[in-house]
């Protein structure tokens, strides 16, 4: 007899995915902040 997943499990999985996604985004953000900034104006024709 298969039971449907409990709401608590669904929320736990969503929370875990959110934590992982946030950590990954912060890592990318920090890498982008460490990169040298190039200020270039868009070329107009």
Q: Which residue has the tokens 């929320």?
A: 11
pTM: 0.56
Pull the structure tokens for residue 24. 């990954």
The pLDDT of residue 24 is 92
The pLDDT of residue 29 is 82
Pull the structure tokens for residue 13. 């999985």
C-alpha neighbours within 13 Å on the C-beta side of residue 4 = 3
pLDDT in tens, 1-43: 567 779 999 999 999 999 999 999 998 888 777 766 666 767 7
């Amino acid at each position: 007899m298969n039971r449907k997943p409990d709401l608590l499990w669904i929320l736990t999985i969503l929370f875990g995915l959110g934590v992982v996604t946030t950590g990954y985004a912060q890592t990318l953000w920090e890498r982008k902040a460490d990169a040298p900034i190039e200020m270039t104006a868009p070329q107009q024709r």
